[in-house]
Copies of this chain bind each other. A is one copy, B any other.
Amino acid sequence: MFSFSHMAEKDKNPPVADNRDPVPIPAEETSLDPSDWNEFRRLAHEALDEAISYLETVRERPVWQPVPEEVRARLAAPLPKDETPLTDVYRQFTRDILPYATGNIHPRFFGWVHGSGQAGNIVADLLGSAMNSNCGGRDHGAIYVEREVMGWFKELFGFPPESAGLLVSGTSMANLIAMGVARNSLRGDMRGEGVSATAKNLTAYASAEVHSSVVRAMEILGIGSSALRKIAVNPDFSIDLAKLAEQIAKDRAAGMQPFCVIGCAGTVNTGAIDDLEQLAALCAAQQLWFHVDGAFGALCMMSDRLRSRLKGIEKADSLAFDLHKWAHVQYDAGCVLVRSGDAYRAAYSMRPAYLQHISRGLSAGEDWPCDFGPELSRSFRALKVWFAFKEHGTRRIGELIDQNCAQAQYLAKRIASEPELELLAPVSLNIVCFRLLGAGMDSAALDKLNENVVADVQESGVAAPSTTRIKRQLAIRVNITNHRTQRADLDTLVDAVLKAGRLRKKSSGTGRP
């Protein structure tokens, strides 16, 4: 290494400040802090009261309402150049934003797989906001909290101590990160040389019900989505294992390089869970990376009744799941776990000069979260997870998962008892897909009817189911990942669907009822 010892005495010509456009030093220094802390405190407490009342009275409001035109216009203002008193900003928020939420905290929100959050996380979020930690790395309390939380999830899923994990925004990011480890583990020079120089013809495997984020991960990683083989499913929508083995053999014979199988623990359409035990065995025999997308289904590990359905998940090479769904942590919060901490580190760790580890001070402590994914700036997401699990514990959260699954079965029975309704898929966990029937209506007319009825019910504010397609038919999809939902809410939903359907049929199923 070049010696700099001649510089041990002060250089006669030190580098000078870059004075191309010198900024004059202001006479008085200012900050963004409130000029009157008491006034700020008063407003903050008012906002907190409003926030808590908003949650406490959620049942009294419509699930969802469209954003009116005049509000949309106000939410299209130009870049603010001048200051506005915080009170006025807050007033605009309560008028133009607060009334138009997604709706997922409401007991009759059944659209997509959204969690409903929890009151305690408001406390966690305001405290985390005051700390304003950056959790990319370094040695401070937030990093220990994230390590503690990671320890919890290793314990929950039976992952070994040498495994490693990261909190991320959700399962989409977690799938991308885990599949990146799967890819990078193939060859030591993958990071440097890329896929074309090191590993052509890669193929991955998942059921036809696999989530779109896995497809997107294949694209982002440069492998390409056509290299994801979508395997046919059994009648319960789980992956057909024989067909999977067949496809892998066929690909190997054709010179492809199978590298990863993605098992689903709770598919987005119907909540189906693949046979993870058998997938693990197949992957071990075939020397393939076994990743599990457990977005919401993986949390059934907290349910004494449902845990057995996930058998084999503890053998996964990597696992992705959400905390803002069935753990009701506030958005956004998901997690990725990788069995081999070494493989994980080797796939992402990178420490430029300004991030070098030092044994003492702020730069101490290993591992840093930035060693495990693409993000260097990271909020203190671990705090709300820590609060949620500390306050409620896994037993209670698991009981509420059971409650949702029992409610799904209750709904399925109600649907089966209604002559105008038809179940479209078996209820595996918490998702119920059904549709309205109509005498003499063809497939296209039924699709249109059901699509319209879902929009009618959403716009009524009574309930919010969503839609999907089950074997090409447009389905009304009811997802129950909501600790506030009660059986009575499901009856209200069915009544609203039937009513909207009858109105639609009267007016020939087209246009507004």
Q: How far is the CA of A8 from the CA of B448 in the complex (A)?
A: 13
Return the chain B residue nearest A455 by Cβ: B361
In the bound complex, residues from chain B placing their C-beta under 8 Å from that of A212 are: 350-352, 355, 376
| Structural contact, B375 and A458, CB atoms closer than 8 A | no
- Find A132's partner among B117, B194, B215, B422 (CB 8 Å cutoff): B117
Instruction: State the CA gap A310–B227 with chains docked (Å).
Output: 42
Whether A484 and B31, one on each chain, are in contact in the complex, defined by CB atoms closer than 8 angstroms, is yes
Q: Which of A168-176, A243-251, A337-345 contacts B (4 or more CB under 8 A)?
A: A168-176
Q: Do B80 and A44 touch (CB < 8 A)?
A: no
Which residues 412-450 of A have a CB within 8 angstroms of B? Answer: 412-413, 416, 419-428, 437-443, 446
Residues B100 and A140 in contact, CB atoms below 8 Å apart: yes
In contact, B132 and A330 (Cβ under 8 angstroms) = yes
Closest-by-CB residue of B relative to A389 is B80
Give the total of A residues in contact with B, Cβ under 8 Å: 243
Flag whether A240 is at the interface (Cβ < 8 A): no
Measured in the bound complex, the distance between the Cα atoms of B215 and A226 in whole Å is 26
Assuming the contacts A125-B125, A353-B468, A443-B5, asked whether A409 and B22 have C-beta atoms less than 8 A apart, the reply is yes
Contact with B along A345-373 (1 / 0, CB 8 A): 00010111111101111111000000000
Contact with B along A467-510 (1 / 0, CB 8 A): 11100110001000001111100000000000000000000000
| Least Cβ–Cβ distance between A488 and chain B, in angstroms | 9
> Which residues of A, 15-73, contact B by the 8 Å Cβ criterion?
15-26, 29-34, 37, 40-41, 43-45, 47-52, 54-56, 64, 66-67, 71-72
**Contact (Cβ within 8 A) B362 A466:** yes
| Interface membership of A86, Cβ < 8 A | yes
In contact, A422 and B148 (Cβ under 8 angstroms)? no
The complex places the Cα of A196 from the Cα of B193 at a distance, in Å, of 11
Q: Is A111 interfacial (CB 8 A cutoff)?
A: yes
Among residues of B, the one whose C-beta sits closest to the C-beta of A195 is: B222
Q: Tell me how far the C-beta of A72 lies from the nearest C-beta in chain B, rounded to whole angstroms.
A: 6
**Interface locus among A149-157, A258-266, A278-286:** A149-157
- Binary contact track A378-420/B, C-beta < 8 Å → 1, others 0: 1110010001011111111001101101110110110010011
* Contacts A55-B130, A66-B139 given; does A394 touch B10 at CB 8 Å: no
Contact of A44 among B52, B97, B118, B360 (CB under 8 A): B52
Q: Which B residues touch A141, using CB under 8 A?
A: 67, 71, 75, 96-101
Say yes or no: A484 contacts B100, CB within 8 Å. no
**A131 CB within 8 Å of chain B:** yes
A163: Cβ under 8 A from any B Cβ: no
Q: Kindly report how many copies of this chain are found in the complex they form together.
A: 2
- The answer to whether B130 and A122 have CB atoms under 8 Å apart is yes
Q: Is A97's CB under 8 angstroms from B437's CB? A: no
Given A92-B390, A101-B133, A403-B30 in contact, is the A75-B145 Cβ separation under 8 Å? yes
CB of A182 within 8 A of chain B? no
CA distance A24 to B152 in the complex (A): 28
- B15 in contact with A426 (CB, 8 Å): yes
Expressed in whole angstroms, the minimum distance between the Cβ of A181 and any Cβ of chain B is 11
User: Is A268 in the interface zone, CB < 8 Å from B?
Assistant: yes
Residue A334, interface by CB 8 Å: yes
Q: Does A138 touch B at the CB level, under 8 Å?
A: yes
Q: Does A83 contact B (CB under 8 A)?
A: yes
Distance of A405 Cα from B321 Cα, bound (Å): 43
- B-side contacts of A78, CB under 8 Å: 151-152, 155
Would A64 and B406 be within 8 Å (CB), given that A104-B134, A196-B200, A354-B112 are in contact?
no
Q: Is the CB of B122 within 8 A of A192?
A: no
Q: Which of B90, B147, B362 contacts A64 (CB 8 A)?
A: B362
B487 touches A29 (CB 8 A): yes
| Residues in B neighbouring A84, C-beta threshold 8 A | 390-391, 393
User: Scoring A residues 73 to 90 as 1 if CB is less than 8 Å from chain B, else 0, what string do you get?
Assistant: 001111111111110011
A-B contact pairs, 29 of them (CB 8 A): A4-B442, A18-B426, A23-B305, A25-B487, A30-B400, A31-B483, A32-B328, A33-B118, A34-B119, A48-B126, A51-B129, A51-B130, A76-B147, A77-B148, A79-B155, A100-B144, A102-B133, A102-B138, A117-B132, A121-B132, A169-B378, A173-B375, A193-B224, A197-B224, A332-B379, A334-B377, A354-B468, A360-B458, A360-B459
Known contacts A4-B446, A14-B416; 12 further A-B pairs (Cβ under 8 A): A9-B437, A30-B399, A55-B130, A89-B391, A97-B145, A124-B129, A125-B125, A129-B330, A194-B223, A196-B222, A356-B467, A359-B455
